[in-house]
Amino acid sequence: MKRTHLPLNALRVFDAAARHLSFTKAADELAVTPAAVGQQVRALEDTLGTVLFKRLTRNLELTPEAERALPALRSGFREFEEAVRILQDGQGSRVLTLAAPRDFTAKWLAARLAAYAAVHPDIRFVIAAHDGEVDFTQANLDLAVVFGSAPSGEGIHGKPLADEAMVVVAASDAMVGVTAPGTAAEASDASRIGYPGGGGEASAVTVADAGLALDAAAAGLGHARVPLTLAAGDIAAGRVVPIGGTEPSTNAYWLIAPTPQWRQAKVRALVEFLLGGMSKAG
């Protein structure tokens, strides 16, 4: 019989009936009626062309063929159970593999993963660095973070961390001589720190990403225009101060994954934690 044609449910019913030698007790175990057990057994006998039970007055008795088959059948069920356990472990709750831009991991993500791990000590994280498109077909990822517009890849689903805004920041002592609270226009007239995707011409220094631009600003090298999500922690810590207000951004940080990944309990739990933590970000 082909694997795809195996009557697995009927075999499970047969196993229960064989253990109890009673359709009624098997029905209690399986939460069905005795009539349903009897129907499944008769259908299995018809499919196999083999009698499985001798129907006696008060109980059942296995036929010799059924007795010989049961050890292999039960061994098979144990193998199924082990396969299910392996599959659950492989996508289980103990390991989460993420990809995120380096600066986002350093400035925002790492602290929140540490907070999550503090209340979930069995969790282990594997974090890969990426600064471009994420290819889930080439990487064994549970989740990724990207900065940009809403994800449009086929089969990719995403959730934004927040409605993003851009802010211009500088070291607090760099504000000397700038009329408080300062303006983004004043900052643009001063030395600007540039980075790929940051916009504007850099007159002070050019660095690799927005996180390094923040660090350069904190060091007093100039002003950096960066996503507020990335800068919030440094602003709260007093390493940099905002110059003027924020401006809305059409881009944002997105949590993305192929649609089936979102069904994993471990992904849903982490995403809920990260999104819930946005109101406490800083």
Q: How many angstroms separate the CA atoms of 30 and 40, rounded?
A: 12
CA R_g for the chain: 31
Structure tokens at 206: 């050019």
Question: What percent of the chain shows pLDDT beyond 70?
Answer: 85
Q: Which residue has the higher pLDDT, 102 or 92?
A: 102
* DSSP bridge partners of 60: 55
Q: How many angstroms separate the CA atoms of 84 and 86, rounded?
A: 5
Domain boundaries, given as residue ranges, for the chain: 3-90, 95-151+251-280, 165-248
Predicted confidence (pLDDT) at residue 185 exceeds the cutoff of 90: no
Number of neighbours of residue 131 by Cβ within 10 angstroms: 16
Q: Look at residue 231 and give its three-state secondary structure.
A: helix
Q: What is the DSSP letter of 142?
A: S
| Mean of all residue pLDDT scores within the chain | 86
Q: What mean pLDDT do residues 206-225 have?
A: 94
**Given the structure tokens 């809403």, which residue do they identify?**
150
To the nearest 10 degrees (0 to 180), the angle between helices 23-30 and 34-48 is: 110
Its sign, for the CA torsion 14, 19, 24, 26, is negative
Same fold flag, 95-151+251-280 and 165-248: yes
Output the DSSP codes for 233-244: HHHHTTSSEE-S
- Residue 147: its pLDDT value, please? 94
- Residue 42: its pLDDT value, please? 95
- Residue 195: its pLDDT value, please? 92
**CB of 38 closer than 8 Å to CB of 78:** no
**Given the structure tokens 């982490």, which residue do they identify?**
270
Per-residue pLDDT tens over the stretch 34-44: 999 999 999 99
pTM value is 0.65
Give the class (CATH, top level) of 95-151+251-280: alpha beta
Number of neighbours of residue 196 by Cβ within 10 angstroms: 10
Give the class (CATH, top level) of 165-248: alpha beta
**CB of 112 closer than 8 Å to CB of 274:** yes
> In CATH terms, is domain 3-90 a member of 1.10.10.10?
yes
Q: What are phi and psi of 56, to 5 degrees?
A: -95, 180
Q: What mean pLDDT do residues 130-157 have?
A: 83
- Residue 3: its pLDDT value, please? 59
Q: What mean pLDDT do residues 132-137 have?
A: 76
How big is the CA angle at 22 (ends 16 and 24), to the nearest 5 degrees? 90
